[in-house]
Amino acid sequence: MVPLTRQGIIDCDVHPTPKSIEEIRSYMKQPWKDRYSGSGRGFYGNPVHGARLDAKPPGGGPIGSDPDFVRQQLIEEYGEAYAILLPRAFCNLHPDPDFATAIAAAYNDWLADTWLGKYNHDGVFKGSITIAHQDPAAAAKEIERWAGHPHFVQVMTDSGARAPFGQRQYYPIYEACEKHGLPMAIHPGTDGMGINVQPSPGYPTHYIEWHTCLSLGFQAHLVSFLTEGVFEKYPGFRVVLVEGGVSWLPALMWRLDAEYKALRYEVPWLKKKPSEYLRDHVRLSSQPLERPDNDQHLLSMLEMMDAEHILMFASDYPHWDFDSPKLAFPKLPDALKQNIFYENAKQFYRL
């Protein structure tokens, strides 16, 4: 019998990988089955190594494809209660919305049958419903298809897009999320690729430049959510910003609140300062955590961003910049540590 609530760390960013392309193709109909050749994001790949050097499954196969090895290396090693799974379908870069939707649907079928099904005897794995935001109506149908599943706990999409996420063309997605009580996770990966706009002024030359500036898209999407009044229109809608950094949040909110004081006439639908929507509607995952040399500076930043209520731990397993639960933070006050590593995610995902 699966316990109603497991105790331990809740890891909000773990990436499972199919054992092969054929595993995804097996869930696709024609003509998509023949067209699908993999889920790479194109360029801006890590030129050194993209994953932990010790994460190769002992029995072979791609990194992140062996659930038993993930259990050994992550769940058992660190005492994790739940691992929130975010597959990387990269479907949001495709210009054909039907093809993108087919890829998303196949990934959801695969995840439900494997990591959330036959590999999930104890319920430790919780999943994300992949959507292609190019077609919001189709994305809403995909949410409807999986909303009653006991182990899907959120919707996910890439930060790469052609327009900021607060704009009304995306509303069918948010309506479906609110209806079913599912937060929407935004994860980097297709910024500036395929049909998507690059959030910096032009295209970076190197991976280090692209990767460092991933937070730019997250900032733009968050300001768009807040100023377009999405959280007023959909008061039950919630957002998780995954793998976009955290230290930028206080300064961004200070600036936006200051702008709002002078420009609230332009956004009359807002009932309070933009920053006051965060605690009810927005969470950030901790990886990558900007770690200054002086730990006190990090602790001050955590206080300024209200980490006690809005930050959730993430390891980004099995990627190269994996954050160990034992090393990611300096020593934290007990209550703050409990909230970041467990309570915030437990409440947000209703686990």
At 277-335, the pLDDT tens digits run 999 999 999 999 999 999 999 999 999 999 999 999 999 999 988 999 999 999 999 99
Q: Report pLDDT for 3.
A: 47
Q: Report pLDDT for 189.
A: 86
Q: Report pLDDT for 192.
A: 92
Angstrom distance (rounded) from CA 309 to CA 284: 10
Model confidence at 5: pLDDT above 70: no
- Within a domain: 36: yes
- Within a domain: 1: no
Segment (H or E) for 258: helix 249-263
Angstrom distance (rounded) from CA 246 to CA 227: 20
**What value does the mean pLDDT take over residues 62-82?**
95
For residues 135 and 124, the answer to whether their CB atoms sit within 8 Å is: no
Question: How many percent of the chain have pLDDT more than 90?
Answer: 91
At 137-184, the pLDDT tens digits run 999 999 999 999 999 999 999 999 999 999 999 999 999 999 999 999
- Within a domain: 2: no
CATH number at residue 56: 3.20.20.140
- The per-residue DSSP string of 86-120 comes to -----GGG-S-HHHHHHHHHHHHHHHHHIIIIIT-
- Within a domain: 3: no
Structural domain that includes position 213: 9-348
**What value does the mean pLDDT take over residues 198-222?**
94
- Within a domain: 38: yes
**What value does the mean pLDDT take over residues 250-276?**
98
Q: Report pLDDT for 167.
A: 98
Instruction: Please state the separation of Cα 308 from the chain's center in Å.
Output: 19
- Within a domain: 331: yes
Q: Report pLDDT for 180.
A: 98
Classify residue 8 by burial, with Cβ atoms within 10 Å: 0-12, 13-18, 19+.
middle
- Within a domain: 224: yes
3-class DSSP state of 185: strand
At 94-151, the pLDDT tens digits run 999 999 999 999 999 999 999 999 999 999 999 999 999 999 999 999 999 999 999 9
pTM above 0.85, yes or no: yes
Model confidence at 346: pLDDT above 60: yes
Angstrom distance (rounded) from CA 52 to CA 64: 10
pLDDT-based confidence at residue 40 (cuts at 50, 70, 90)? confident
Model confidence at 4: pLDDT above 60: no
**Looking at 196-210, 271-285, 335-349, which range is the least confident one?**
196-210
Mean pLDDT of the chain: 95
Question: How many percent of the chain have pLDDT more than 70?
Answer: 99
Q: Report pLDDT for 198.
A: 93
- Within a domain: 57: yes
For residues 11 and 80, the answer to whether their CB atoms sit within 8 Å is: yes
For residues 69 and 58, the answer to whether their CB atoms sit within 8 Å is: yes
Q: Please tell me the total count of domains within the chain.
A: 1
For residues 283 and 241, the answer to whether their CB atoms sit within 8 Å is: yes
3-class DSSP state of 311: strand
- Can you say whether the dihedral through the CA atoms of 191, 192, 198, 204 is positive or negative? positive
Cβ-Cβ contacts under 8 Å for 337 (sequence gap 6 or more): 329
Angstrom distance (rounded) from CA 262 to CA 265: 8
